[in-house]
Amino acid sequence: MKNIGFSPADVLLPKKGIDLEKWAVVACDQYTADPGYWNKVESIVGDAPSTLRITLPEIYLESKDKDGRIKAINATMDRYLADGIFDEYGDSFILVERRTETGVRFGMVGKLDLEEYDYSPDSVSLIRATEGTILSRIPPRKEIRLHAPLEVPHIMVLISDSERSVIEPLKAKRDKLEKAYDTPLMMNGGHITGYVVSSGEDKAAVLSALSRIRSSLDPDNPLLFAMGDGNHSLATAKSLWEDIKKGLSEEERESHPARYALVEIENIFDEGLAFEPIHRIFYSIDRPAFMKELEKAAPGSTAEKISKGEIHERVNESKGSFVLYDGSEYILVRLHGTEKELAAWTVQSIIDSLLEQKACTVDYIHGMEETLSLAGNGNIALILPDIPKDTFFSSILSDRAFPRKTFSIGHADEKRYYMEARRIR
C-alpha cells in the first residue's frame, strides 16, 4: 500500500430507512453564483438527515454568518454520530456506478495517503494536482475541517488505466457484490449505486492492478493519481495533516486517520467520463485592448474570421488555438511564439496581466453557448479547445499542472454528490 498510496477505508453510510435522495447533495463548489439552486436544495432536504448540513456550499463562504455555519456543521456531525445514523463498512472499497445525461461511469471510493501528495507546481509526487492550486483558497476550507469529526468527499481522482484492470473487473461482477446504496439524486443529478468491495481477493486484485501500473511509471516522475475534481479540498486535507503530524511520533503518524483522505478514483478511459473545457469571459474590455495583450504574450499569432458553426471543429485543430467572440465576429486565433503549446497557458498569462492593470474582470464559464451569450456590449468571450483524454497524463508529466479552471469533468449536476463519510478524528 505504501508503494501505491490508495487503500480500503472504514466507510460510513446512512442506515437503511434514511432517505438517500435527501442525504446526497452536489459538491459544495458548484452553483457558486446561483442562490436559487441552494434554496431549492434547502426546500427538498427540510429536516431530514443530509450532507447539506455537514458541508458548506461555497456560495456562503464569504457570508457574514460563515462562522456560525461552520459551528453548526461540526455540531451536526457530532449529533449524527451520537444518534447512530451510520452503518460502517470496515476496510472496504465502494464501487460506484453513476448514471447521468452524459452516460454511465464507474469509480471506486477508498482513501489516499496524503504523504504521497504534493500540490506544489513542480511536484513529481505519486498523487498530484492537475491545475494550479490557489493557496489563498486553503485557509477557509481548513477552518471547516479543523474541528470536524467526519469528512464527506467530493474529490475525484483520475488514473490512467488503458488496460482497464483496476475498476472494470469489479464492474463486470457487480451483480455479485452487496449493494451499499441505490438511489436517484436530487436536482437532475441522475442515479447512483454503490457496491461493497470487502473480500480479501477483490481488494488484493485492485491493489495488485494499481501496483502493476505503478511499476510501469518513470521512477523519477511517477504520476499515478491525477486530480480530477476537488483539488482544493485535497490540498486542505494535506495542509491540515502537515500541521497535525508535527505533534505525533513516527508510529502515530502511520495510522492517524487525518493522514488519509476519502476520494473516488476513476479511470480516465471510462467511456462515461466526459471532459469539457472551461471557457473565459472578459468583462469591460474591447477587442483592440485584448489583441494588444495577445501580441505581447504570443507575438506572431494569427487571426482568422470563422462562422459560429465552425467553432468546435476549428478550435480543436490545435491545442494552441482559441476562438474570440466580441458579440459581432468569431475570430480563430492560432498562437505562436509561446513556451507552452496549450492555449490555456497563454490565456492565463493575458488574464494575469490585465487583472494586474485593472483593465477588466474575468470569469470562468462552463459551456460554449453559455459563454458566447455573455459576449458583446464591451465583453469578450474566449472559447478554448478540448483536453484530449489520451494526452492528459502526458501533458501533466511534461508541463506539470494545467492553469486553473482548464477543464471540468462533466456538467455541474454530473459532479460528485456527497454520499460516503469517514472519521478523521
Nearest to 95 by CA among 186, 208, 175, 211: 175
Architecture of domain 276-408: 2-Layer Sandwich (3.30)
Contacts 24+ apart (CB under 8 A), 37-43: 37/187, 40/187, 41/186, 41/187
CA dist 55 to 59, 66, 150, 351, Å?
12, 12, 10, 31
Query: Rounded to 5, what percent of the chain is helix, strand, coil?
Result: 35, 30, 35
pLDDT at 340: 84
Neighbour tally for 358: CB within 10 Å: 7
Q: What is the dihedral of CA 50, 52, 56, 62, to 10 degrees?
A: -150
pLDDT at 1: 52
* C-alpha cell of residue 274: 466526459
Q: What is the 3-state secondary structure (H, E, C) of 342-404?
A: CHHHHHHHHHHHHHHHCCCEEEEEECHHHHHCCCECCEEEEECCCCCHHHHHHHHHHHCCECC
CA dist 138 to 53, 57, 61, 402, Å?
21, 15, 12, 18
Structural domain boundaries in the chain: 6-273+411-423, 276-408
Averages of pLDDT over runs of 10 residues in the chain (425 residues) are 87 97 95 91 98 95 90 97 98 98 96 95 90 77 93 96 97 98 98 98 97 95 92 93 96 96 97 90 96 95 97 95 97 92 92 96 89 95 91 81 81 93 96
Nearest to 159 by CA among 196, 119, 209: 209
**Rounded Cα gap, residues 49 and 52, in angstroms:** 8
pTM metric for this prediction: 0.87
Residue 381's Cβ-side half-sphere holds a number of Cα atoms within 13 Å equal to 24
Query: Any idea how long the chain is?
Result: 425
